């Protein structure tokens, strides 16, 4: 996979300016929701036992991120970041999980995320989605949901893969849903915030389905 935080291919998507124009609260919502779109691969697919990370620890961190006054994980889910495994991850599932864990570790626990951090987190979700599309395109077999994906892409921007298009659609929907939240509002405490979280969870579950399929093909 390409590294997180890279510019989109045209380098002119306006994300940096959009994040820079946000107040602190909306930046936090935007970054949190981007990580939420990548949440299910950690919770629904097995983690490498060598990392020493239990699924419930990662789940606790996500849960605490929704809590007002969050000041860091009660149980550090990312000890591997002090001793990063050498060599390439074994398979696309592990590669995605390491990217997401790194994103969790970089989450600013004692303050709101800066604009650059928000942008980097949003780009992480975009790049994971785009990389997964590339893998799907490279395999010889059709994705189990290929027909449904083709129908979706018929109305999506040209030149994008399914997961990239879906991620961007959810990203935009979450922006619209949370734009009107009052200052200090928490996502889990508002109807709009809960809807945004639910949309991210639905997309994240789609990532899991594709990652599991890739794993069965030895990727």
* 164 has a pLDDT exceeding 90: yes
Residue 104 is predicted with a pLDDT of: 85
Residues 6+ positions from 180 with CB-CB distance below 8 Å: 192
Alpha helices in 92-216 (DSSP H): 92-105, 115-138, 146-153, 162-178, 191-216
- Residue 164's Cβ-count burial label (10 Å; 0-12, 13-18, 19+) is buried
* 55 has a pLDDT exceeding 60: yes
Residue 192 near residue 180 (C-beta atoms within 8 A): yes
* 129 has a pLDDT exceeding 90: yes
* 198 has a pLDDT exceeding 80: yes
Count of beta carbons in the 10 Å neighbourhood of residue 78: 20
pLDDT-above-70 percentage for the chain = 85
Averaged over 157-162, what is the pLDDT? Answer: 89
**Separation between Cα atoms, residue 73 and residue 57, nearest integer Å:** 9
Structure tokens at 202: 């639905």
Residue 87 is predicted with a pLDDT of: 52
Q: Per-domain residue ranges for the chain?
A: 15-216
Structure tokens at 196: 């945004």
At 169, phi and psi to the nearest 5? Answer: -65, -45
Count of beta carbons in the 10 Å neighbourhood of residue 124: 24
* 9 has a pLDDT exceeding 50: no
**Separation between Cα atoms, residue 97 and residue 207, nearest integer Å:** 11
* 134 has a pLDDT exceeding 60: yes
Averaged over 166-177, what is the pLDDT? Answer: 95
pLDDT-above-90 percentage for the chain = 43
pTM of the model: 0.86
* 84 has a pLDDT exceeding 70: no
* 23 has a pLDDT exceeding 70: yes
């Amino acid at each position: 996979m390409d590294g997180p935080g890279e510019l989109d291919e045209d380098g002119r998507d306006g994300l940096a300016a959009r994040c820079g124009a946000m107040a602190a609260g909306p930046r936090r919502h935007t970054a949190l929701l981007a990580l939420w779109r990548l949440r299910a691969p950690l919770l629904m697919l097995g983690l490498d036992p060598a990392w020493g990370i239990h699924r419930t620890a990662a789940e606790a961190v996500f849960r605490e991120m929704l809590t007002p006054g969050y000041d860091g994980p009660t149980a550090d889910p990312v000890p591997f970041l002090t001793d990063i495994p050498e060599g390439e991850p074994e398979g696309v599932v592990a590669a995605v999980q390491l990217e997401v864990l790194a994103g969790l570790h970089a989450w600013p626990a004692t303050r709101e995320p800066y604009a650059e951090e928000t942008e980097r987190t949003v780009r992480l979700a975009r790049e994971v989605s785009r990389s997964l599309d590339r893998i799907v395109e490279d395999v010889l077999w059709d994705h189990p949901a290929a027909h449904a994906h083709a129908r979706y892409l018929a109305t999506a921007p040209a030149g994008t893969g399914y997961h990239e298009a879906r991620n961007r659609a959810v990203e935009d929907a979450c922006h619209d849903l949370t734009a009107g939240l009052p200052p200090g509002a928490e996502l889990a405490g508002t109807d709009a915030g809960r809807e945004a979280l639910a949309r991210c969870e639905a997309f994240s579950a789609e990532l899991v389905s594709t990652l599991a399929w890739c794993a069965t093909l030895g990727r």
